[in-house]
Amino acid sequence: MPKRKTFTLLEIVVSLIIIAIGLTAVGVTFIGGKFILKEAENKSRAISIATVKMEEYLSKTFSGLGGIETPTLTYIGTDSGKEGDIPVDWKVDISTQWEVNKKLSISVPYKVIEVNTFYNEESPNNQKIRKNVKLINIIPYPYMHIQSLHIESGSGGQAVPPTYFDDISGLKIEFNYPVFKDIMVVYDVAIYIENSTNITPTDTIYTGCYLDNEKNNRGTQTRTPISMQPFISNAISIDNVSPGPHSLSIKWMKDTQVRNAGTIKLKEANLIIISTEKQ
């Protein structure tokens, strides 16, 4: 009879050790894989929240994120909280910075939006690790600004003053830009004649555009015969308006051959200014 092959105790022990090492490797791989999947899930959630927050603030206008600040980095606001099943803290920092153009000798502001999300991870050896995701984007200063006014006076409207220019009450816009601007001014004024006594065909209403209460001398004045045109319209270009606060108003005056002849009143009026950045 052939001899049976048997295993010695040493062989059995060695086999058990090899099996134990293999099972340990499989366990480590499983735990490590689980940790990697969890890490990817946490990071994906943090990126998702950061992206949503960034889009939320990018959708706001430049002025909607705060006014013009100093040329240095300036903290404007912080928002923080938790969302979703995975605890993720988020914070939004908004600051104003300035781009200096030495060639044109101007500085143009822009908003910097920084979104940070923070989350905790637990390593395979049960150590907690604090991680974060950061997104940064900017909102440039608007190239164009548009402001408008509309007023209606009805039957009790203000009368056109004789012999001197005076404000059309309510037809005034104030602005404050940090850079040089070219401004297009468009206005129209509807009038009605309440009393036509002594008004002749040559009698006139003058209107003028005034920047900082001073008449601009570049074709801003209109002359409209009272009896021929109850609607006044004008467009004016004012170039190279300096940075800082300004006011723009429309004034008018009645010029008649007979002093104080007739009564002309405001029916309604519109004022629009379109400001573009000086190039």
pLDDT value at position 139?
87
Higher pLDDT, 77 or 154: 154
> What pLDDT does 187 receive?
93
pLDDT at 14: 62
Question: pTM of the predicted model, to two decimals?
Answer: 0.60
pLDDT at residue 53 in the model: 86
CA distance 156 to 192: 11
pLDDT for the residue numbered 226: 78
How high is the mean pLDDT of the chain? 78
Would you place residue 149 in the very low, low, confident or very high pLDDT band (cuts 50, 70, 90)?
very high
Q: Is the pLDDT of residue 176 over 50?
A: yes
pLDDT in tens, 177-187: 888 889 999 99
Confidence of residue 81 (pLDDT cuts 50, 70, 90): low
pLDDT at res. 200: 85
In the predicted model, is pLDDT for residue 263 greater than 70? yes
pLDDT surpassing 70 at residue 215: no
Range from 95-104, 181-190, 202-211 carrying the lowest mean pLDDT: 95-104
Tokens of 239: 């170039």
Locate CATH 2.60.120.760 in the chain.
144-277
Task: Give the pLDDT confidence of 23-61 residue by residue, as tens digits.
Answer: 565 555 545 555 566 677 778 888 888 898 889 888 887
Q: What is the pLDDT of residue 6?
A: 59
Structural tokens at position 223: 């002359």
SS (H, E, C) the chain: CCCCCCCCHHHHHHHHHHHHHHHHHHHHHHHHHHHHHHHHHHHHHHHHHHHHHHHHHHCCCCHHHCCCCCCCCCEEECCEEECCCCCCEEEEEEEEEEEEECCCCEEEEEEEEEEEEEEEEECCCCCEEEEEEEEEEEEECCCEEEEEEEEECHHHCCECCECCCEEEEEEEEEEEECCCEEEEEEEEEEEEEEECCCCCCCCEEEEEEEECCEECCCCCCEEEECCCCCEEEEEEEEEEECCEEEEEEEEEEEECCCCCCCEEEEEEEEEEEEEEECC
Question: Does the pLDDT of residue 156 top 80, yes or no?
Answer: no
The domain 144-277: what is its CATH number?
A: 2.60.120.760
**For position 77, what pLDDT does the model report?**
42
Both tokens of 3, joined, read 């001899």
pLDDT at position 246? 93
How confident is the model over 199-204, as a mean pLDDT? Answer: 85
